[in-house]
Amino acid sequence: MSEETFDIIVVGAGVIGTATAYYLQKNNPDKRILLLDRQSAPGQANTAMSAAAVRNMFASSTNQLLTDTSIKHMEHIQNEEGFELMFEKVGYLWLLSEEQLNSDSVQLWMKRMKASGVHYRVYNKQELNELMPGLNTDFSGDEDAELMNLREVSYGLFGADCAVLDPTRLVDYYFEEFKKISHVKPRFNVNVTRLLLEADPKLDLPGEPFVWQYKRVNGVVTDKGTLRAETTVLATGAWANELLDPIGMDSRLKAKKRQIFVIHAEGNQRLLDLLETKGFNEMNCVPFVILPSAGAGGAVYFRPQLQEKGFWIGCGDKLGRAYHYVQTDEFNTGETTYYENSLYPVLSKYFPAFEGARPVSSWGGGYSYSPDAIPHVYLENGVLVVNGASGSGIMKSDAMARIADALYRGEPEAELFGGKKIPSDALSLKHRQVEPENVVI
């Protein structure tokens, strides 16, 4: 097969990969950077399968910084550069029981948000009932609710700076900006089968690299040929293990499947009334709503989809949902029985407007989780890993990409949007400087 050489190869053209390719090319204009993906176009894998919501409401100051600067950059793209992202500040609303609000973890969360200047407010039950008359806050005497371990809603924790958007448009922005300055045409439908690990220096001995030799990744082997590069950027999200495990690099990531189910409100007046809930935002629509977690964890949530006049339903399930290490076809589809037996019973209890509602479509995607729920950005053995966003890749993508570029250029700090700075090795494995996150949906 053929063999080509570049300065940098970026594997993965999702939102993190395209943003990283853009900043690397912008700040290293003489480098030949190849962006490639196994899909037929950028942003068609897990980026497109996400709930497409962004928030700065995290407990970790690290995640607060990454998300707040990235979200502000999205606003800048739409409002100042005029590139439509369908960015809508609908807000995030966590519905909480009294026990949850007064828990140490939530109190610490609010304390840290206040210290970092993250805006939020707390609604009491009476205020919630006035704003959302369709919300069921009283399960007294409801045996089914007790059987399902459902908590009564006493409070709502709301963040007005949180939003929803079209993730493929965000990818398109970075992709188009990258193409304007790139020296190499991006490639799609290219499957990377392995990282090209070689001895450093090569002695051309049969069977090398041996244990006594230094080693580094010098590119990738694909189904279209071998592509060499001084640096290989790995932005493959939930599937990093497919390439790192075979060469013995521990990604410290695990992947889980997440699913989205689409409900249309047209023809259902109660759902339309819920969608058009007023008082939370300028769009006069219901915010992104997270229901109280039940059982062993796993909060059901829904977000408004104004263009379709409907809702996207999902759940951050935990115990009971297996980790996966290799991408399979099952990740591309939603499981009908999962909606019917797990999500619908909970959703319809809190919001009876959803009674009888059935999905018109669904999809699935993989989320990559790091142990502390903070992203990884590190350069080792010729591989620049930009990964581990823990289900928050869209809302951290701009900051992660800027950090990756600064790390590549050997800069001690990365300047994020708005002028805020972070050590370029803060998200690395060896010199990690982060606060662990405990607010993961």
Do 154 and 273 reside in the same domain of the chain?
yes
Do 275 and 153 reside in the same domain of the chain?
yes
Closest CA to 274 of 162, 122, 135: 135
Whether residue 74 is contained in a domain is answered as no
Total structural domains within the chain: 2
Q: Out of 344, 369, 394, pick the residue that ends a domain.
A: 369
Do 147 and 178 reside in the same domain of the chain?
no
Look at the alpha carbons of 36, 248, 223, 331 in this order and tell me if their dihedral is positive or negative. negative
Place of tokens 């196994």: 38
CA distance 254 to 50: 17
Do 260 and 329 reside in the same domain of the chain?
yes
Which range marks the domain in which residue 39 is found?
3-50+168-253+372-423
**One digit per residue, pLDDT tens: the chain, 441 residues?**
679 999 999 999 999 999 999 999 999 999 999 999 999 999 998 888 889 899 999 999 999 999 999 999 999 999 999 999 999 999 999 999 999 999 999 999 999 999 999 999 999 999 999 999 999 999 999 999 999 999 999 999 999 999 999 999 999 999 999 999 999 999 999 999 999 999 999 999 999 999 999 999 999 999 999 999 999 999 998 888 899 999 999 888 888 889 999 999 999 999 999 999 999 999 999 999 999 987 656 799 999 999 999 999 999 888 888 887 666 666 778 999 999 999 999 999 999 999 999 999 999 988 888 999 999 999 999 999 999 998 889 999 999 999 999 999 999 999 999 999 999 999 999 999 998 888 876
Do 286 and 402 reside in the same domain of the chain?
no
pLDDT in tens, 211-241: 999 999 999 999 999 999 999 999 998 888 8
Closest CA to 288 of 271, 305, 272, 273: 305
pLDDT in tens, 156-202: 999 999 999 999 999 999 999 999 999 999 999 999 999 999 999 99
| Residues 364, 83, 233, 221, Cα dihedral to 10° | 70
* CATH value at residue 188: 3.50.50.60
Do 362 and 378 reside in the same domain of the chain?
no
Task: Collect all residues with Cβ–Cβ distance below 8 Å to 435 and sequence separation of at least 6.
Answer: 59, 60, 61, 62, 374
Do 172 and 185 reside in the same domain of the chain?
yes
